[in-house]
Amino acid sequence: MAGTTALLMLENFIGGKFLPCSSYIDSYDPSTGEVYCQVPNSGKEEVEAAVEAARAAFPGWANRSPQERSQVLHRLADLLEQSLEELAQAESKDQGKTVALARAMDIPRSVQNFRFFASSILHHTSECTQMDHVGCLHYTVRTPVGIAGLISPWNLPLYLLTWKIAPAIAAGNTVIAKPSELTSVTAWMMCKLLEKAGVPPGVVNIVFGTGPRVGEALVSHPEVPLISFTGSQPTAERITQLSAPHFKKLCLELGGKNPAIIFEDANLEECVPTTVRSSFANQGEICLCTSRIFVQKRIYSEFLKRFVAATRMWKVGIPSDPSASMGALISKTHLEKVRSYIERARAEGARILCGEGVDTLSLPPGNRGGYFMLPTVITDIKDESRCMKEEIFGPVTCVVPFESEEEVIERANSVKYGLAATVWSSNVGRVHRVAKKLQSGLVWTNCWLIRELNLPFGGMKSSGIGREGAKDSYNFFTEIKTVTVKH
């Protein structure tokens, strides 16, 4: 393919201009395994240029009123929405997800991110108190921090990039963003819309490249006072080390090993299809996906029978197939990693009920080099297994029985992560009781992935530091000061 078709060549976007790079990285189409794009292999020089552009743009952008910044965000949202189909097709080709999912979730949510923060920036209030006995009035003021360093992952490329850019620039900051080098295309496409939306040069800068070259230069730069990162725990540890000498503000959204707890009074008609979706949506490559399913013993066999049958109906196909529920995983390396967990579980004596090594995957000849695998269900596995402890980040879930409420809460909390959980029960008292005891930043009951963007998003324990959402993002991307006036 590379020899017969012109490769898509991306460029950095710095100071309102597209700039070439001296070297490039190959980017692969996950559905074919072939190179189709080249991404700038940027480094310190490009980051320094972006810092200069962001520094120059900051005073003018910060001095604009929230209403003026809101209008710009609304215009950008409109332009993204007008390009929805083109962006969805590009996101699918770059990431491996189905076009249908990109069309229904990724791009609409990217649009919503700008509209949401364009609105929320207009509705924040400040505090004010009086001390009449000393004749003083106190009030708080929030101001933008400066240059925000934003590092986003490959699983929901434009969705999570805009989730960071929108609140940062709404609050008056300028930004330098580094998308994953594996999925850079929709960020590059968005840059083409910024000038038309009225975003001044230097307010949004996108520097493409790897973590060791771009990410480390950005995180360690003394003029970038805050870093928002979504990704893996090892990378977050490195970010923390590099930023510590500069006392930077950090927001780190990391992984999860998310439990679903299914009590005997659960409505299986709703629970089973929703839990299939929560386990395998986006090839299981969502930090909120379910990877441990605890089922109360009385309904365990019935749930397992229905769940395996429903999983086998979850079609794996080429991303352009409208009937496909799941596309390709992000890379050959990641596919091999996910498969290694299944082999490890099999070696430990676990049973693979469907999926990898059990069922046959049929693909067109042109896609047999792609990074596809079937959704896989594992049972008869111990809580101590690495498959039950570590984030696999693929279409693999483990199903195990439990007896009592107290037991399952302890087991659900027994991992180092604490991002999300789901609870299925028709007992309202139990729902509230269990949700309170689970060590998870988000708990869904009798549903999954219904998000209210006003409320905090983030995890406990090794799932991260900080929260994102209307108020939380505003607080992160601003500095607060107290003003006292004696009268």
Q: List, for residues 33-61, the tens digit of each pLDDT value.
A: 999 999 999 999 999 999 999 999 999 99
Does pLDDT of 1 surpass 50?
no
pTM here is: 0.97
Which residue(s) pair with 35 in the sheet? 28
Tokens 């230069």 sit on residue: 217
Regarding whether 369 and 225 lie in a shared domain, the answer is no
Classify residue 423: in a domain, yes or no: yes
pLDDT in tens, 206-223: 999 999 999 999 999 999
**Mean pLDDT of all residues in the chain?**
97
Q: How many CB atoms lie within 10 A of CB 170?
A: 25
Regarding whether 227 and 178 lie in a shared domain, the answer is yes
State the CATH number of the domain containing residue 277.
3.40.309.10
Q: Which of 181, 253, 285, 391 is an active site residue? A: 253
Q: Could you give the CA distance from residue 179 to residue 189 in angstroms, rounded to a whole number?
A: 12
Regarding whether 305 and 205 lie in a shared domain, the answer is no
Regarding whether 244 and 98 lie in a shared domain, the answer is yes
Does pLDDT of 3 surpass 90?
no
Burial 137-158 (b: 16+ CB within 10 A, else e): eeeeebebbbbbbbbbbbbbbb
Helix-helix angle 66-82:185-197, to 10 degrees: 130
Regarding whether 53 and 75 lie in a shared domain, the answer is yes
- Name residues whose C-beta falls within 8 Å of residue 441's C-beta, 6 or more positions apart in sequence: 418, 419, 420, 456, 457, 458, 459, 460, 463, 464, 467
Regarding whether 354 and 398 lie in a shared domain, the answer is yes
State the residue range of the domain holding 235.
8-254+464-486
Classify residue 455: in a domain, yes or no: no
CB 306 within 8 A of CB 315: no
pLDDT in tens, 60-88: 999 999 999 999 999 999 999 999 999 99
Regarding whether 46 and 13 lie in a shared domain, the answer is yes
Q: Judge whether 253 counts as a catalytic residue.
A: yes
Regarding whether 33 and 14 lie in a shared domain, the answer is yes
User: How long is the chain?
Assistant: 487
Q: Could you give the CA distance from residue 81 to residue 76 in angstroms, rounded to a whole number?
A: 9
Number of domains making up the chain: 2
Closest CA to 422 of 304, 293, 323, 242: 293
Regarding whether 280 and 202 lie in a shared domain, the answer is no
- Name residues whose C-beta falls within 8 Å of residue 442's C-beta, 6 or more positions apart in sequence: 288, 419, 420, 421, 457, 459
